Amino acid sequence: MTKAVLSALIRPMLEPYLPPSIDAHFFTSIEELHALAPTAEIGWFDLDDKEPMAEAVRLAENMKWFNSIYAGLDFLPLDLLHQRGTRITNGAGINAVAIAEYVVMGMLNIAKDYRTVVRAQEKHEWLMDSAGQAGTCRNPRALARLWRDRPASEAAARSFWR
């Protein structure tokens, strides 16, 4: 059997799909992780603290495959993993869509001079140029018609411009 050491946080999502040939051990603390790491052939040691995670990697002398959802793994002893012949998979690109959406939002914010919209809102003023329009809408009722399946939309649109 292949011994896997995994975070207990992923247990409900992962355990039902593990093949019988995997002997899974789930850790709930750093102490448990460090105790189990030397026996791991497969390791998924993700923690919110990088140093104990790196220490677990150092302790996992028999690990053949290391997985992480982290995109950047430069805090780990990568030279040691390479020397041991450990395969590494990680979460590079896992947040690419969210980051792309955020970048586009920022570009639109600048292109449409959104600061002007916020300043007008603070003064309770309507802008008649494109910076003051919500999509193709020029007033709260038009916006509410676009969102008619949402009952509070007209009130929400009105309160936005108060």
What does the pLDDT look like over 69-79, one tens digit per residue?
Answer: 988 899 999 99
Residue 21 has phi, psi (to 5 degrees) of -80, -5
What is the reported pTM?
0.63
Residue 75: C-alpha distances to residues 19, 51, 61, 145 (Å):
31, 8, 18, 52
| Beta pairing partners, 27 | 7
Given a cut of 90, is residue 162 above it in pLDDT? no
**Around Cβ 37, how many Cβ atoms within 10 Å?**
22
* 118 against 37, higher pLDDT: 37
